[in-house]
Amino acid sequence: MAAMAALAAAGPAVGTNIADVDIDIVSQWQRERLENVGAVTALNRSTASIMRQILDDPASPYSGLRPSPDFMNDVDWASMLARTPTGAGTSENALAVLQWDLGATRARPDIDVPVGAATGYRDRFVAASTRKADVDADIFWHMLDLTGYRHSTRAAYYAVGMQILRAQILATAPDRRAAIGVDKELFDRVMLARHLGHLTSHDLTYLSTLVQHRLIHWRVGGMASTGLRQLPVAFRIARVAAAYRDAEGYFMAAPCQADASPADPATGEGQDDGTRDLCFVAATDRAVHRWYLDESRRQASYRPRQESSHRTSLIAAVMAVAFPLLEIASMVEVMEAAIADDMVTTEVLTVEEAEMVSERADLLTCRIPGMP
C-alpha cells in the first residue's frame, strides 16, 4: 500500500534541520529564480508542480518526502544556498525548511515533534499536533471549554490567536505594550471567561486580526516553544483542530495505531465515503489543512434548534471573513504574491512584475467558492 510504504520513509530527526529559524527559503529561492530566469519563467510554476517534487505520493495524505527533488539541481537553488547564512545553508537544511514551511511534514510523536511525557495534553497524539502548532496546553483546553467540540475549528482559530498574543506579551516590556497595541488585559479576560458570553466583540475581533495579519503577510522563521521552527499560521490552526478531534475520541475504530501509523481500513485516504477521520499525526500538514477546511464547513452548517447567543453569531461572522484566507493559505502562488509586495519595496521586483504575481494568484483564488 503506497501510504504505508511512505510512512516507512525516514524523516529528519527531531530538532534537526527544522530547528533553523530566521531563514526564509521560499522568499530567497523566489528572489534567485527572478534574478536567474526572469519573472515570466520564475512564476511559471504551480503548487502541484512543486509538491510533486517534494512528496513521494502527493495524492496520499500520508506521503513521505523525496530526498532529492529535481529543483535542487537548478542554478537558482545553488545560488540561493550560497547567499544563505553559514550553518543553515546546506542543501539538506534548506530542503528541510522548505518542506516544513510548505506543509509537507507530519507530526508523529518523538519522530517529527518532541513530545516526551505529553504533560498537560493527556494524550501523545494530542500533544504532538498541539506542540507542532506551538499552542500551550492551558490555552488549548480553555478555548475548547469556551466553544465545545461542536465548534472546535473555531476554537482552534482563536487558540492560535491567543498564543500569538501571549508571545507578544512575553516579548514586550510592560511599559511598551499599550503604545504598540499589545493587550494583556484582553488576554487575561479571555483566560478567565467561563463561556462565550463573557467575551466582547472587541475581544474576538482583536484576536482574529492577529491571525488574519499572519494569513495575509508571509512571515516565517520564528522559533516555537519547542525550539523548532514555527509553522505558518494556517497549518498551526489546522493542527490544533486536529488535536481537538483526537481529544474528542472515536466511537468506532481509532484512525491511528499506537505507533502513529494509520489504522487499516480507517485510513482516510479518500478510498472511502469521506467520513472517516485521518490519522492526523501521520498526515502531512497540507492534508490536515484540507481536512480542516472541510470540517469547518461541516461545523458551520450545524444549525441547532435554539441557536445560542449573539456571541456565537459574531464568531460565525468573523470566521466567514477569515475563512477565504484560510482556504488559499497553502497555495504557493498565494505565498509568492505576499512575498512579491515586499520585493517591490526592496526593488527586487518592478511594480509590473508584482502585479503579474498578484494577478496569477487572483485567477486561482477566484475559482474558490466563497471568494469575492
Are 228 and 19 in contact by the 8 Å Cβ rule? The answer is yes
Burial of 170 (0-12, 13-18, 19+ CB in 10 A): exposed
Identify whether the C-beta of residue 210 lies closer than 8 Å to the C-beta of residue 183.
no
Locate 38 and state its grid cell: 526572469
Task: Calculate the alpha carbon distances from 44 to 47, 134, 228 in Å.
Answer: 10, 34, 32
For position 236, what pLDDT does the model report?
A: 96
Q: Which of 113, 118, 119, 159 is nearest to 139 (CA)?
A: 159
Cα angle, residue 128 at apex, residues 6 and 61 outer, rounded to 5° = 30
Measured CA to CA, the distance from residue 236 to residue 364 in angstroms comes to 23
How high is the pLDDT of residue 336? 54
Digitized pLDDT (tens) for each residue of the chain, 372 residues in all = 444 444 444 454 444 446 666 788 888 887 787 777 666 666 666 778 889 999 999 989 999 999 999 999 988 898 888 887 755 568 888 899 999 999 999 999 999 999 988 889 989 999 999 999 999 999 999 999 999 999 999 999 999 999 999 999 999 999 999 999 999 999 999 999 998 888 988 999 999 999 988 888 777 788 888 888 899 999 999 999 999 999 999 988 889 999 999 986 445 554 444 557 899 999 999 999 999 999 998 888 776 555 555 556 656 666 666 666 666 565 555 555 555 555 544 444 444 444 444 444 443 344 434 433
**Three-class secondary structure of residue 55 per DSSP:** strand
Dihedral angle over CA of 372, 319, 284, 32, nearest 10:
50
Torsion of CA 263, 269, 275, 281, to 10 degrees: 60
C-alpha radius of gyration, the chain, whole number: 20
- The pTM of this model reads 0.83
Residue 271, burial from CB neighbour count under 10 angstroms (0-12, 13-18, 19+): exposed
Count helices and strands (H / E) in the chain.
Answer: 16, 0
CA distance 276 to 138: 29
Q: Please tell me the predicted confidence (pLDDT) of residue 1.
A: 41
Cβ atoms of 6 and 56 closer than 8 Å: yes
**What is the length of the chain?**
372
